Structure formats: C-alpha cells, structure tokens
Amino acid sequence: MSQRDTLVHLFAGGCGGTVGAILTCPLEVVKTRLQSSSITLRISEVHLSTVNGASVARVAPPGPLHCLRLILEKEGPRSLFRGLGPNLIGVAPSRAIYFAAYSSSKERLNRVFEPDSTQVHMTSAGIAGFTAITATNPIWLIKTRLQLDARKRGERRMNTFECVRRVYQTDGIRGFYRGMSASYAGISETVIHFVIYESIKRRLLEAKAATHMDGAEDSTKDASDFVGMMLAAATSKTCATSIAYPHEVIRTRLREEGTKYRSFFQSLNLVIREEGHRALYRGLTTHLVRQIPNTAIMMCTYEFVEELAKINVACQKLIQERERGQQELREAVKSFKSSAQEAVEDIEKVFAELICSLEKKRSEIKEQIRAQEKTEIDRAEELHKHLDQELTQLRQRQTEIEKLLISDYQLHCLKSCQSVSVLPTFEDVPSFTKHTHLSFKDISISAFREVLEDVYQQQTARISREVSNVHVAKTSELKTQDDFLQCKLEYSK
C-alpha cells in the first residue's frame, strides 16, 4: 500500500468514527451506566432461593429508558455527553489506526491467500483490532470513568485531567490498561462484523455489476450503493454484537474505579455467580440502538470519504496527465518553431548561395560573351581595313587603265607601260564568307532556365508535402461526465 493510500484510509476512518461518536454519545453514556455495577442503578432487589433454602438478593437493573430518565432528572442533559472529549480524542485515531491497519493487512494477505476470502477478512480484522486496542486503551478507560462519574446537579464534575491524575495516583501506568484483556476478547466481535460486512458488500457490488449491459463492474458508487453499505454495516454489527456482547460488560466492570474485578475470567465468573447469565447482556438493547446507527454512519462515512479520495486521486492523475501533455505540447511547439526557423534559415542560405552562384555564373558568361564579341569585332575590323587598302589600290589601277584606253597612243603606252597590264600582287587574305546563322543565340540559357524551373517545381512540391505533414498531435479533452468517469475507471483499474 502506498503512503497516499494509507493516509486516505487514516482520514476516512477518522472522519467516520468522529461523526458516529458525536451523534451517538447519549446512547453510549446510557449503555455504560447499564453495564456498570454502580449502586446508583440498583433500584430494586429480587430475592431468589438457593438449593439449601437460603435467599439471595439479586439486583434488578432498570431498563434503558428508566436509566435515561434518571440521568436527566438527577444530573441534567449535559451528563448525556459525559466522556465526549476523550471519545472524540480517541475515536479519530482509533478508527484511523484500525482502518489503516485493516486495509494494509488485507492488501498484504490478498497476495498470500485467496483475494477477499473469509480468511483474509478475519485475519485483517484481528490484526487491526489488536493494533487499535493496544494503542488507544488508556483513552477509553478515561472515557468510561467519566461516563460513570454520576454527580447530582450543581455538584462539581471531574474533568479529563483530574481523571487521568486520579488513575495514575491510584494504579500507576498499569491502571490505564485495565480492561484491555476484555478488549482483546472483543476482537472476535470486530472479526465477525467485518467478515459479514465484506461478504454483503461484495454481493451488493456483484449484483450491481450484473445489472449493467456489458457485465463490467462499475468502480463509481452512487447513493444507492452507500445506502446498501449502511444496511450491510447495520446487519453485520447487529450479528457481531449479539454474539460477542459479554466482553463489553466485563470491560466496563474492569474499568470501574476501586472494584473487585481484577481479570477477565475472574470478572466473568463473578458476574455470572452474583448476577446470573443475563447480566452479561445488560445494556444490549441500548448498545444495539447506539451501535447500529453509529456503525452505519461510520462505515458509510468511511466508504464515502474513501470514494472521494479515489476520485481526488483520479483527478490529480488527470491533472498531472494534462499538465504533462501541455508541457509536451509546449516543448513540441518550441521544437517545431526552432525546426521551422532552422528550415527557413537553411532555405535562405541555400537560395542566397544559389543566387550568388547564378550571379557569378551570369557574370562569367557575360564576360565570356563580351570577350568573344570584342575578339570577333577586332578581327572583322582588321579584315575590313585590309580590304579597304586593296580596294584603294585596285581603284587606282583601274583609273590608270581607263586613261590608257582613251589615249591615242594606246599601243605606245602599252609598250611603254607594260607594268600597267599586270595585276598587282596581294598577300593572301583570310577568306571572309558571310554566314547568316552565326550568332550568340545558341548561347542562350533559356533551356537551362527550363531545366532549372522543372527541378525547382519538383523539389518545391516535395518540400511542401513534407511541410504539410508536420503537425502537432491534438489530445482529447474531457468534456462530459461520461468521459471523466471512463478516464477515472481506467486509473482505478
């Protein structure tokens, strides 16, 4: 059992015991007075004859209503709440220790024996009863002494601290543990009570589970479940008290101040011999009237507080789960932002490098084209100049020839100017043929642009698909009560 579960059972048991003790305190006072051997309750005597003819005076105790009337008349209504202080001081730790020990023992024994078997419930109840009795017996002794302190109206009553001092002065430390042997004998009542209670509770839960369509057990409890548990607690406590009640009478006698009762069996024999077997059940009716509602209230409060604690634990788990989901979501968003920023920066860097590279290549190709253009233009200008020189010489020669043709002394001139008839000799000039298809159009990067655009479109589409696949997982929210109960059921499994 975890520390949280132990605290839950401590708190639930303490709350249940406190509520029950406050509401049933008057019945507790009447029951204690009826169990006592105090002479204030000896109203009448019945003379019985023995075997040898002698008569024995036997006390005839009053009934619960008569006792209640005597307390109200002689002591006042406040006397009905005598011992409430120690009762409240003791009931919370007593029930808390009991329920914590019971739950812890049952959980451990379920691992050894058949889970939730009768053997487990009996052993767990016995361990819990022994632990609680040993720890809280001094408180119950003080409570009993205060409830038996019958004072008339106006008389000063003994308070709790005076009672503690008186017990210590009279009997020492051992005096605070008087009646503990009878309380140990009363563990049988606790064992019987919890065995019957757990059996009825299990049957009620099984019957509820059978009413569901899916046949699954519902871990949540409604008002009808708590009513059923109150009835189960009342039934089990009635059976257990009716069987094991005599130890209550003996325990009260042992806790009386300055009495002749010394031990459990000595007191048992003495009560039977002096008052008869019926004296062992004195105050049973009042005890049942007190214990049945007290136990029902206590067990219902315990189950209710335990159920609230389970719901609270489930809520805390849900809150932690949602907070963890929010934290993971924040981290995911932060990671996505960082990843997106890195992707944007990477794209900017890649495109910047690509643009820079393209700019560089553009400049290189542009310079190459301009250089080639200059080379070809220079070559063409050189050829053009050379051709101009040749044309000038040819035109001069043509002029001379034309002059000779129109002269009267043509023959004479031809003879005298034989050099004119000879064509001038020119150096070999590179052939220059006009090609209309020669241009820089073939150097155009339009094809490269088309290829680059195709690659760009393909890669952009791929990146867009990958970006669209990046998303944040959306967690489901609890919007309805059924969603909360379903989630709570998963935590409680």
285-340: pLDDT as tens digits: 878 887 787 788 778 877 887 788 788 888 888 999 989 988 999 998 888 888 88
431-455: pLDDT as tens digits: 545 444 455 555 556 666 777 777 7
Residue 468 lies in a domain: no
Looking at residue 424, its pLDDT comes to: 57
Residue 405 lies in a domain: no
Q: Is the dihedral of CA 18, 230, 291, 70 positive or negative?
A: positive
Q: Which tokens in the block code for residue 484?
A: 């909360």
Q: Which tokens in the block code for residue 223?
A: 């008002």
Percent of the chain at pLDDT > 90 equals 1
133-176: pLDDT as tens digits: 888 888 888 888 887 776 666 667 777 888 888 888 888 888 88
Q: Are 137 and 180 in contact (CB under 8 A)?
A: yes
Residue 333 lies in a domain: no
Looking at residue 45, its pLDDT comes to: 45
Looking at residue 359, its pLDDT comes to: 87
Looking at residue 319, its pLDDT comes to: 92
Q: Are 282 and 61 in contact (CB under 8 A)?
A: yes
The C-alpha atoms of residue 415 and residue 399 are separated, in whole angstroms, by: 18
Looking at residue 443, its pLDDT comes to: 57
Looking at residue 172, its pLDDT comes to: 86
What one-letter code names the amino acid at 33? R
Q: Are 304 and 6 in contact (CB under 8 A)?
A: no
- Cα-flanking dihedrals φ and ψ of residue 354, to 5°? -65, -45
Residue 419 lies in a domain: no
The answer to whether residue 76 scores a pLDDT higher than 70 is yes
Number of domains in the chain: 1
The pLDDT mean for the chain works out to 75
Angle, helix 118-147 to helix 84-112, in steps of 10 degrees = 170
Residue 439 lies in a domain: no
**Residue-range definition of the domain harbouring residue 125:** 3-328
Looking at residue 244, its pLDDT comes to: 87
The answer to whether residue 384 scores a pLDDT higher than 80 is yes
CA distances (Å), 29 to each of 36, 159, 163, 206, 334, in order? Answer: 11, 16, 17, 39, 69
394-426: pLDDT as tens digits: 888 888 888 887 765 555 555 555 555 555 555
Residue 81 lies in a domain: yes
Residue 189 lies in a domain: yes
Residue 483 lies in a domain: no
The model's pTM: 0.49
20-68: pLDDT as tens digits: 677 777 877 887 777 776 644 444 444 444 444 444 455 556 677 787 7
Instruction: Report the CATH number that the domain containing residue 103 is assigned in CATH.
Output: 1.50.40.10
